[in-house]
Amino acid sequence: MAKKTVILTGGAGFIGSCFLWRLNREGFNNVVVVDDIRDDLKWKNLLGKQFINYFQKDDFLDILETGDICGVKTIVHLGACSSTVLSDAAYFLKNNYEYSKRLALWADAHGAGFIYASSAATYGNGSNGYDDSEENLDKLRPLNIYGYSKHIFDLWMLRKGLLRKSTGLKFFNVFGPNEYHKGEMMSIICKRFEDVRSGEPLALFKSYHPEYRNGEPSRDFIYVKDAVELLYYFFTNSDKTGIFNVGTGEAHSWNEVAEAMFSALGRMADIKYVEMPPDIRRNYQYFTQASLDKLRGSGCRHKFTSLEEAVKDYSSYLENNGYL
């Protein structure tokens, strides 16, 4: 395979830096990283990674559109604001929607592949299921502006006919190394690891849904190493186009996640339940589970890491430096 240039937006972020690690393992070093590094944690995700250039995201589109980057094989667009509590709609639309449109149009005009991150947040409360067929898109009703910004880009790609030659990936609950910089958006495993290791109980939100007991709301949790394997599958199979779920196809409760954390650290489970903040409570997803029919139909046979094995593996990173 010719090693032409790969543009990787969000390349210093969580999934992006892990995907860069995966590319490097396969000898893909001709990577242009695009991100927004303004804190003292995110840059550490790039330590030990191989790439040929770095650009700040606010500068990059003008650089790209003026023709200063040549020989682009694929744009892997993972850069976005993923906060589910930020409420600045104008920022989300500019950062997640308008920016993505310009990248997609450039890729189409220059014959480059285009892979982008969508989100399971587009599914809203799940009342219309978790089917990743394009026919299902118009039925979806996201619960927050983040999910909406991803959803309208999916719809735009569909209506422009670009999904026939591009790939959108709906990431479910991804956790693993390189997420330190995400603040409140870190997984509970990362946020509460030191508490559990130091002997404290683990606090989980109470349930406010009559069908779910405390700790029993469930999500499709996928280890970042599995997520980047699926991403790499589509990167190396450019004929697999359209929208695909990136999840395990299994839902696990928050109690199960907590129990896996305690088990990894050799402790008996010690869980307490606390009030959920009202601003989160209003739009809380109580259940997600990816449908994998379309993924498996594409020929992908990846075997996912079990929740227990993934938490144990991640714990080994958190006990050291937390980075992949």
Which residues are known to be catalytic?
146, 182
150 in Cβ contact with 122 (< 8 Å): yes
Name the nearest CA neighbour of 142 among 115, 118, 175: 118
Ordered DSSP codes for 15-66: HHHHHHHHHHHTT---EEEEE---SSSGGGGGTT---SEEEEHHHHHHHHHT
d(CA 19, CA 292): 21
Number of other CB atoms surrounding residue 130 within 10 Å? 23
Name the nearest CA neighbour of 165 among 119, 117, 113: 113
133 in Cβ contact with 295 (< 8 Å): no
